Amino acid sequence: MGEKKKILVVDDDPDFVEAVKTVLEAADYDVAIAYDGEECMERLEEGTPDLIVLDVMMPGKDGYEVCKNLKDDPKTVEIPVILLTAVASRVSTSRYTHKMGMETSADDYIAKPVQPEELLQRIRDQLGS
């Protein structure tokens, strides 16, 4: 079967991270975790994941900024990024908008709460598996 695909999950909600990690590991992915944008960039120094699941709303560097940094860097431009956002229902009270998401070069865009099956399907689609 070959080596496990490595997925970096970046979200500031530990419960969400744990739930996603459980789902992905059950699907035989190797999972790395970061709780904010800075930590995400540190994890990338340790090795390149096959895909990044990235939350939009985080303290410090938000997901849009992290995604832009990733797509502007030749070393990470090829890594598929799936942006997660809970903002669809709160756009009016938030500085984030769906349009901003579409303007970033994320490879996919999922609203939270996301069903585990949908997340897995989107990951498989991006990894071509």
Residue-by-residue pLDDT tens, the chain, 129 positions? 578 999 999 999 999 999 999 999 999 999 999 999 999 999 999 999 999 999 998 888 889 899 999 999 999 999 999 999 875 554 444 455 555 544 567 899 888 888 899 999 999 999 997
Give pLDDT, residue 1.
Answer: 53
CA–CA separation, 31 and 19 (whole Å): 12
Asked if 37 contacts 65 with a C-beta cutoff of 8 angstroms, the reply is yes
Tell me whether residue 94 is exposed, middle or buried, using C-beta atoms within 10 angstroms of its C-beta: 0 to 12, 13 to 18, 19 or more.
middle
Q: Domain tally for the chain?
A: 1
Give pLDDT, residue 91.
Answer: 47
Q: Which two tokens stand for residue 86?
A: 């809970």
CATH code of the domain containing 71: 3.40.50.2300
129 lies in some domain: no
Asked if 32 contacts 22 with a C-beta cutoff of 8 angstroms, the reply is no
Direct distance between the N- and C-terminal alpha carbons of the chain, in angstroms, rounded to an integer: 12
Asked if 102 contacts 56 with a C-beta cutoff of 8 angstroms, the reply is no
Give pLDDT, residue 67.
Answer: 94
22 lies in some domain: yes
**In the block, residue with structure tokens 């992290």:** 66
112 lies in some domain: yes
Asked if 9 contacts 53 with a C-beta cutoff of 8 angstroms, the reply is yes
Give pLDDT, residue 111.
Answer: 87
68 lies in some domain: yes
Give pLDDT, residue 59.
Answer: 86
Give pLDDT, residue 85.
Answer: 82
1 lies in some domain: no
Domain ranges, residue 99: 6-124
Give pLDDT, residue 10.
Answer: 97
23 lies in some domain: yes
